Structure 1
Amino acid sequence: MKILIIQQKMIGDVLTTSILFEALREKFPKAELHYVINSHTFPVVEHNPFIDKFLFITPEIEQNRLKFLSFSRTIQKEKYDTVIDVYGKPSSILMSAFSKAKKKIAYHKKHTSFIYSHAIKRKSTPEYAASLAVENRMLLLKPLGIDFKNIQPKIYLKEDEITSAKNYLETNDILLNQPLFMIGVLGSNPSKTYPFEYMAKLIETVAQTKNAQILFNYIPTQEEEAKAVYELCKASTQEQIHFDVFGKSLREFLAILSQCDAIIGNEGGANNMAKALNIPTFTIFSPYLNKHNWFGENEEVQNVAVHLSDYIDLQASDVKQAKKQSALYYEKFKPSFVKSKLEAFLSTFSK
């Protein structure tokens, strides 16, 4: 049996969809399992023992119709028995159609259902206390006789990567026997970014943890914004922040993250990666997002997620408005709301 899963675009999506391979391997130990992903997302699934082969969509393939057509024909030549299209956009629909697999599985959409042998309707409420991101993905395996399994995404690091990260941190005067916290200072866009002034106040709370050492998660193009948050912190807190310590690649970042006691900050890929490394997370969700999409009750043992709706009543109309006027709704999401939960979360990390 030969199975292809298609999941393009975001790193968090590619990581979450990787749970399907573990479930498939358990059900079909001799199956050949392939994964179509964007090339830049590979680091989060590198060394995954359940995936036999990766097919990479490069920027060149995305931007050139002839190259994309050639890529789709490559899929056709693989002669897959089953294709699972998790992405469900024009590019993946075309790949699915080209595959000529007997079983083609995707989420139900009126205008594309005829392409697939199985069109699965998403659930809107979690049934097994997992996130909707996990539960809805597991639904795609039903046509293959696989029921829900509580599988969480996992990132696989090599020993030399971990050793290199430890050496890098120690070279930069970080004590690995003292609490080390990563701060997700920025979201993927302004509508997913907790106000800088509010974030600085939460960082002050983190800094009060005995012997706390703090890292900022940002990429070089975000340095100016990250610096703006840093400048809003007290001078004493700034001394605890190792601003220039960060991974130069995604794998380096993951190895550094694996040495942290926790990550605190905006919802996004970094928090999902931390969970996949079994690192505790304290996540601040944007007011317009549904917290249950990316956070399940079964994660509450070591993870915390906060949303404006946890503190004030929000109507459906508020959620729609929050996407258009994120700053207005973020202003209501006071650090004082979050502080006690954050302090309780941090209390377990004193060394």
Structure 2
Amino acid sequence: MKILIIRRDNIGDLICTTPLFESIRRQYPQAYIAALVNSYNEPAIDGNPHLDAIFAYTKGKHAAGESVWQAYWRRAKLLWQLRQMKFNYAILATSGFAGRSLKLARMLAPEHIVGFVTEQASSARIDQAIPHADGGALHETEDMFRLLAPLGISGPIPALTVAADAAQATALRQQLPTAVAQGNGPLVALHISARKEKQRWPVERFSELAHRLHAQHGARFLVFWSPGDENNPFHPGDDGKAARLLAALADLPAAPLRTEHLSELIAGLSLCDAAVLSDGGAMHVAAGLGKPLVCFFGNSSAARWHPWGVPYELLQKPSRDVSEISVDETVDAFGRLLARR
């Protein structure tokens, strides 16, 4: 049997789909299991042990160093290649009706197409249709897992899976200052970036938190952020914010880990014992690596997006603004997390 899982959207969404790969592999160990993703989120599943192949295409808006038409031409060739493989199942791993993924699947002419339909949108082309109904009230991972029903697969749902490149992780570890690389206390990832304004915890609180965790637990720190100038209108980053935090942590065993590429973020987080960060792609990366987490939630749904399959402490205020979460609350949450470990 040949099965293709199609997931076109963000990093966290794709990682929340990885339990499908493992469950299919367990049920059908001899099956050929592949994923069709975009070039932006592909590194999130590189090295996944449950996949036989990953096929990636470049969206027009992500084309770099080539014209949009060249990206489209390469996509057409890839789709023709996949059509020749004659998949038995194409699974549209998107919450709700996945119109664009359905167009891709139809070009591949699989024997069956599995996907969600709603009262507002459906298609006879989805011959293994699953009513989405109240699926939006489930966790993303639970919602996606329902797509395996036509294959006769049910729970329990596995944890997320993210694989770090071992050579890259080793190289990063060798670059760490001795005070950070060695120590009895936990090595804690502090990821300070968040796409949404109400998901951003102030730098000053990260600094106070680090000093208190070091005093109480002997913690050491790796600082992660989205690289770039905050004034860049296309790809704003947090270089300035990171510089301020690192200056404030000069008296602690702390080191920066600038990650220009998703694979570097994955390798860096794999070195850590725990992480403190806001809801977003990095949080799901850390969960996929099996890291215990303290996570800040602002104006996003904790029920839908909380860390899956790992110990975590989730902090969210009624105002849905991360800036209202105190250092005291975070220190207490970290203590509870260590106690649970």
Regarding TM over 0.5, the answer is: yes
Aligned residue runs from structure 1 range 154-193, under 5 A: 154-157=161-164, 159-170=166-177, 174-193=181-200
Which blocks of at least 5 consecutive residues in structure 1 are unaligned?
Answer: 127-131, 315-321, 323-328
Provide the C-alpha distance between the structure 1 equivalents of 2:250 and 2:178, rounded to a whole number of angstroms: 19
Query: Contact conserved, 1:166 with 1:259, CA < 8 A, in 2?
Result: yes
* Structure 2 residue aligned with 1:342: 334
* Structure 2 residue aligned with 1:319: none
Give the direction of change, closer, same or farther, for the CA distance of 1:258–1:176 in structure 2 (3 Å limit).
Answer: farther
Task: Verify: 1:257 aligned to 2:254, yes or no.
Answer: no
Q: Deviations over 1:67-109 (max 9, x none)?
A: 5444433332221111001135443121122222232111223
Provide the C-alpha distance between the structure 2 equivalents of 1:297 and 1:24, rounded to a whole number of angstroms: 18
* Structure 1 residue aligned with 2:50: 50
TM-score normalised to the size of structure 2?
0.81
The offset of 1:178, in angstroms, is: 3.7
* Structure 2 residue aligned with 1:114: 124
3-state SS in 2 of match to 1:208:
helix
The offset of 1:27, in angstroms, is: 1.3
Work out the percentage of aligned pairs sharing the same amino acid.
Answer: 21
* Structure 1 residue aligned with 2:15: 15
Query: Contact conserved, 2:12 with 2:280, CA < 8 A, in 1?
Result: yes
Give the letter aligned to residue 175 of structure 2.
Answer: Y
The offset of 1:123, in angstroms, is: 2.6
Which blocks of at least 5 consecutive residues in structure 2 are unaligned?
Answer: 231-236
Query: Contact conserved, 2:224 with 2:257, CA < 8 A, in 1?
Result: no
The offset of 1:204, in angstroms, is: 4.2
* Structure 2 residue aligned with 1:285: 297
Which of 215, 223, 231 pairs up with 1:208? 215
The offset of 1:337, in angstroms, is: 4.5
Give the direction of change, closer, same or farther, for the CA distance of 1:250–1:150 in structure 2 (3 Å limit).
Answer: same
Which of 257, 267, 275 pairs up with 2:279? 267
3-state SS in 2 of match to 1:79:
coil
- Over aligned residues, Cα RMSD in angstroms? 3.1
Q: Deviations over 1:142-191 (max 9, x none)?
A: 01111122201122335434433332225685325442211111112324
Deviates further, 289-298 or 64-73: 64-73
The offset of 1:221, in angstroms, is: 1.0
Provide the C-alpha distance between the structure 2 equivalents of 1:264 and 1:257, rounded to a whole number of angstroms: 11
TM-score normalised to the size of structure 1?
0.79
* Structure 2 residue aligned with 1:103: 112
* Structure 1 residue aligned with 2:103: 94
Higher helix share: 1
Aligned residue runs from structure 1 range 297-336, under 5 A: 299=310, 302-309=311-318, 329-336=321-328
Give the direction of change, closer, same or farther, for the CA distance of 1:230–1:335 in structure 2 (3 Å limit).
Answer: farther
Query: Contact conserved, 1:15 with 1:153, CA < 8 A, in 2?
Result: yes
* Structure 1 residue aligned with 2:241: 228
Give the letter aligned to residue 291 of structure 1.
Answer: A
* Structure 1 residue aligned with 2:156: 149
Number of matched pairs: 323
Give the direction of change, closer, same or farther, for the CA distance of 1:176–1:118 in structure 2 (3 Å limit).
Answer: farther
